[in-house]
Amino acid sequence: MTKTSRFDYGWVIVAAGALMTCVGFGTMLSLAVFLQPISKAMGWSTAGVSAAATLDFLFMGVAAFAWGTLSDKYGTRIVVLAGSVLLGLGLVTASQAQELWQFQASFGVLIGIAAGSFYAPMMALASAWIDKHRSLAVALVSAGMGVAPVTVAPTASMLITAYDWRTAMLVIGIAAWALLIPACFLIRRPPQSAGTAAASAGGTPEIEWTASQALKTPQFITLALAHFACCAAHSGPIFHMVSYAMVCGIAPLTAVTVYSVAGFSGLGGRLMLGALADRLGAKPVLVSGLFVQALCIATYLAVFRLGEFYALSVVFGLAYGGVMPLYAVLVREFFGAKIMGTVFGAVSAFASLGMALGPWAGGLVFDTFHQYTWLHAGSFAIGLAAVAVALSFPSKRKPAQPSLDLGRAAA
């Protein structure tokens, strides 16, 4: 196999990863569209239905670390295949739930575990296949999450309007099986020579880290905390975006378009910030994106009209979408390809904990105050904390010396 054919097939891996993140995260985040219809039809509280999203992120976090470790050991194909089967199963069973706890178990547990199988393993695999444009490659895999709001969410909304929430969720579950299971068979391990070349080109440490060593470093702790705060800041405003727009008097189908605009803008943000990171470095781009994200969250306190929602959605989407793949780039630069699935899976676990806070907190705030003011104020404060943590992340060159010292000590 020539270097050119390896490089070309790497983009097939990227495309498959983008599809998986689109369907996986799109179905999970579509709960934002299902939230009001399910609550009204079943008589369940907003917080009760939103708790399914909280469970999603909690279980996704635990599963992401496990799936990442398994992908490093056994390969990515078997991991994403198992996740694809679980994803469809969770949607189908959730569509038949008669009690709130049944819905929370199906949508919150099964889908959360399934979604964790796609992001970290496919980001790690794409970074192992692609060397020259690595930031762009992982951004494209992550871009599937940006496409989801303009594909899965509108589809769910149309199905709910035409039928009911149960039929809509059942159809989406079957469609997930039909799309993802065949895509899993496109997944291949990167050739060993490609991974070695990528490591050399990317300037990764010459001394290989073990997973236990990596998880004790300040670099890992800083990345994990930054990703946690980043996701804790934007998860509530994103999940409750449709609901907040409806509270402001915007029609349901129109409110979904606000969410879709943010998602589409997030796709552009991933590509734009990914390309910038290849030129300027991941850290400065990450810090800048986090700062813009915090400002956008604060702006929700003054937004009430449809035009204002659209304008803010564009900027907010660029920021929160653009920063997401940069954590994977930094993990790859510091710790190399061999353990990236494990390390980035652990970082993603912290991110999932952050994502779990927003839906639950937003539902609790709305049930208590019948408005979202305190959600946006609290999210803004957490967003500023994410900026501060990201600023403390060391420069790219600093971990080389600790790793060499560690290697000498081991010798």
The 10 Å CB-count burial string (b at 16+, else e) for 361-381 is: bbbbbbeeeeebeebbebbbe
Q: Which fold has domain 9-393?
A: Growth Hormone; Chain: A; (1.20.1250)
Q: Which tokens belong to 298?
A: 């604060």
Q: Looking at residue 400, what is its pLDDT?
A: 43
pLDDT of residue 181 exceeding 90, the answer is yes
| 0.85 exceeded by pTM | no
Three-state DSSP string of 71-118? HHHHCHHHHHHHHHHHHHHHHHHHCCCCCHHHHHHHHHHHHHHHHCCC
Mean pLDDT, residues 351-376? 83
Q: What is the largest CA-CA distance in the chain?
A: 67
Mean pLDDT, residues 114-125? 88
Band (395; pLDDT cuts 50, 70, 90): low
Q: Looking at residue 407, what is its pLDDT?
A: 42
Mean pLDDT, residues 175-188? 94
Query: How far apart are alpha carbons 234 and 84 in whole angstroms?
Result: 26
Place of tokens 């943000």: 269
Give per-residue pLDDT as tens, 285-342. Answer: 999 999 999 999 999 999 888 999 999 999 999 999 889 888 988 888 888 777 888 8
pLDDT of residue 351 exceeding 90, the answer is no
Give per-residue pLDDT as tens, 5-56. Answer: 444 688 899 999 989 988 998 888 888 789 889 988 898 887 788 888 878 8
3-state helix, strand, coil in the chain (%, to 5): 85, 0, 15
Q: Looking at residue 404, what is its pLDDT?
A: 41
Q: Looking at residue 401, what is its pLDDT?
A: 44
pLDDT of residue 257 exceeding 60, the answer is yes
Mean pLDDT, residues 81-105? 94
**CA 69 and chain centroid, separation:** 18
Band (371; pLDDT cuts 50, 70, 90): confident
Q: Looking at residue 271, what is its pLDDT?
A: 81
CA distances from 117 to 88, 139, 250 (A): 13, 17, 36
Contacts of 207 (CB under 8 A, 6+ apart): 403, 404, 406, 407
CA distances from 185 to 38, 130, 248, 259, 305 (A): 35, 19, 45, 32, 46
Q: Looking at residue 166, what is its pLDDT?
A: 93
- How many helices (H) and strands (E) in the chain? 20, 0
Give the three-state DSSP class for 264.
helix
Q: Looking at residue 109, what is its pLDDT?
A: 93
Q: Which tokens belong to 37?
A: 């219809």
Band (396; pLDDT cuts 50, 70, 90): low
pLDDT of residue 203 exceeding 50, the answer is no
Q: DSSP assignment of 184-238, as one string?
A: HTT--PPPHHHHHHHHHHHT--SSPPPHHHHTTSHHHHHHHHHHHHHHHHHHHHH
Query: How far apart are alpha carbons 244 and 145 in whole angstroms?
Result: 21
Q: Looking at residue 295, what is its pLDDT?
A: 96
Please compute Rg for the chain using Cα positions: 20
Mean pLDDT, residues 188-203? 57
Supply the mean pLDDT for the chain: 83
Q: CA 70, 189, 221: angle at the middle one, nearest 5?
A: 45
pLDDT of residue 127 exceeding 90, the answer is no
Q: Which tokens belong to 245?
A: 């727009």
Query: How far apart are alpha carbons 348 and 226 in whole angstroms?
Result: 11
Query: How far apart are alpha carbons 250 and 29 in whole angstroms?
Result: 20
pLDDT of residue 199 exceeding 50, the answer is no
User: Are 122 and 141 within 8 A, CB to CB?
Assistant: yes
Neighbours of 44 (CB within 10 A): 19
Band (194; pLDDT cuts 50, 70, 90): very low
